[in-house]
Amino acid sequence: MSQHHSRLVHWLTCLLAVAVIAVVPGTSAAAALPPAIDGQPMPSLAPMLEHVTPAVVNISTKTRVAVNNPYFNDPVFRQFFGLPDTPQERTEQSLGSGVIVDAARGYVLTNNHVVGGADDITVTLQDGRNFKAKLIGTDPDTDVAVVQIPAQNLQALPLADSSKLRVGDYVVAVGDPFGLGQTVTSGIVSALGRSGLRNSGYQNFIQTDASINPGNSGGALVNLRGELVGINTMILSPSGGNVGIGFAIPSAITSEVMAQLVAHGKVQRGSLGVQTQAITPRIAQLLKLQDSNGVVVTGVGAGSAAERAGLQPGDVLTTLNGKPLHSVQELRNAEGLLPLGSTVQLDVLRDGHSTEVSVTLSPEKLASVDGGQLDARLSGVRFSDLSDDQRAQGLSGVAISGVQPGSRAAAAGLDTGVLIGVGNLRITSVAMLRGLAKVHLRQLVLVVADDDGGGHYVVIN
């Protein structure tokens, strides 16, 4: 990258010199820029993009959604007007992008939110060919999906090691924003390891200022060698358009998720089996810690990997695989993004003494919890993790498996269904819900999924 940077600086310096000459009195106004300077060709991304753009595809989907019309639901109304008894439906269409990563088998990487729940998926190649795609698998927690097309003569993108990215590296985004057709934008890596954003469970995003807009989702983020470093997935914007803050899922994550989706049709995640909490200055004082680094263990699951490794409530986890552990989200990311069976090394501080503990991620078990254990206002509500079948349907959140009649939650209008958020925070597991229970809210605002893919608020005072 340093050679690219030096050459780019040289080219830009020469371009500036040409621009200055062009405005000097007496110079010809019709003079054109030369095709080369000092024997070097003018800087251009075109040669690299000739190999990249054929691997980036347009994805269009159709989803049939039931229409809830009280008149059509009335059998007397249907009989009077001679309407059929078949449920009323409407078809929703959406557009996104994808990246061919295996030319021989026709595998295309994209976002879960582009294809999840779709009844019909069509992939359009740069050369104009259209193919009906088969959904191989989706993972709502990372927003990654894999589809397959029965096509020949495909061109795939090689995957780069996204862990070697640095802030300031040049990157190029390729996708289909607003359905305009294939579009290329460029920028730099603005930040790495972004988390705490909306609509995703496991987060370790690349942030870039390369323009990303609606329709770019699932498209490619590549380096200057034309290698895939990330899958574009979301933006932060007050207007809905690009303001230079876009996010991509690193290739290190997408490659691992894709391998599991191809092998199993789903992602098999591991778990340490611990509940943890961020260390505040007050907690640091109570535990007699010198600083607030790390996370404190507040609970250890019976029979869990953490229990077998000897972890106890009150232990402070300071590093994970040799890297400082700054937040509960970082630990959660490690659990969700490392392959099942991985062994992690934890530095544990207990009673003022530090020791290293090895913990092997064991299969994640479906957890459930009585809402009364989280907050008194949720007494009588039962929450549980979603089953594999529910996740395969594109659902993401926590199942509300029971609401006791007469409880405060029932009086507020809460019913069985899927909880997708608390306040403005996305929920994808009971473990996350337990963590939020430690945040005391004046009002408990639950976001419950609707049948049409939206959500509604339930406020429990």
A 10 A CB-CB count for 327 gives: 15
What residues pair up with 239 in beta bridges, in sequence order? none
C-alpha span between 372 and 366 (Å, rounded): 19
Query: Using CA of residue 396, residue 402, residue 407, residue 412, what is the dihedral sign?
Result: positive
C-alpha span between 74 and 338 (Å, rounded): 51
A 10 A CB-CB count for 83 gives: 14
A 10 A CB-CB count for 340 gives: 15
What residues pair up with 235 in beta bridges, in sequence order? 246
160 with 223: CB under 8 angstroms? yes
Mark 105-120 as b/e (b = at least 16 C-beta within 10 Å). Answer: ebbbbbbbbbbbbbee
Q: Which is nearest to 254 in space by CA: 107, 49, 429?
A: 107
Catalytic site residues? 113, 143, 217
**What does 151-185 look like in DSSP terms, one character per residue?**
-SS---PPBP-GGG--TT-EEEEEE-GGGS--EEE
274 burial class (0-12, 13-18, 19+ CB within 10 angstroms)? Answer: buried
Helical residues (DSSP H) of 267-374, grouped into ranges: 281-286, 305-308, 328-337
A 10 A CB-CB count for 187 gives: 17
A 10 A CB-CB count for 70 gives: 7
Helical residues (DSSP H) of 191-297, grouped into ranges: 251-264, 281-286
C-alpha span between 244 and 202 (Å, rounded): 23
DSSP at 275: E
C-alpha span between 316 and 278 (Å, rounded): 10
C-alpha span between 157 and 152 (Å, rounded): 15
HSE toward the beta carbon, residue 406, CA cutoff 13 A:
0
Task: Round to the nearest angstrom and report the end-to-end CA distance of the chain.
Answer: 56
Residues 6+ apart with CB under 8 A from 115: 59, 61, 96, 121, 133, 135, 138, 145, 147
C-alpha span between 69 and 62 (Å, rounded): 21
